[in-house]
Amino acid sequence: MKNNPVVPFILIFALGLGLIFFMSLYGVDQKKEIAGADEEGKTEETASNAEEFDPEGFTQQKCIACHGGDLTGGAGPNLHGLSESKEKIHEIIKNGQGGMPAFGGQISDEQIDQLADYILTLK
């Protein structure tokens, strides 16, 4: 009798499908626990992000595309030596202006203040 080389692949496929099915049933049973863990993690993560916010790193991720690698201008204006008040810079970062997107939903007011302070230090 000759062995069929397709049989091991069919067995692995069936085992994989069965494993996926049983794992999904296990996940349904623990849905509430998983959801609770996610919310606890978000609360802790949000608190730690407020403490560990890096304005320079944020500008390197979000601002250099328009304001240039050294923030001296590009599609957006030069951020060095701004004569704007901290409150005005905070408002622009939070709500956006012209082609600049609003970052109010992405970072907290405290983080926006830190970012405005950093921008005012650029000379």
Domain boundaries, the chain: 1-52, 54-123
CATH superfamily of 54-123: Cytochrome c-like domain (1.10.760.10)
Overall pTM surpassing 0.75 (yes/no): no
What is the pLDDT confidence band of residue 119, given thresholds at 50, 70 and 90? very high
Instruction: Give CA–CA dist 103/84, Å, rounded.
Output: 18
Instruction: Give CA–CA dist 83/60, Å, rounded.
Output: 22
Q: What is the pLDDT of residues 38-71, one digit of tens each?
A: 555 555 555 554 468 898 888 888 888 889 888 8
Q: Which residues does 117 contact at the CB level (< 8 Å), separation at least 6?
A: 55, 86
Q: What pLDDT score does 41 carry?
A: 54
Cβ-contact 116, 89 below 8 angstroms: yes
Answer yes or no: is pLDDT of 105 > 90: no
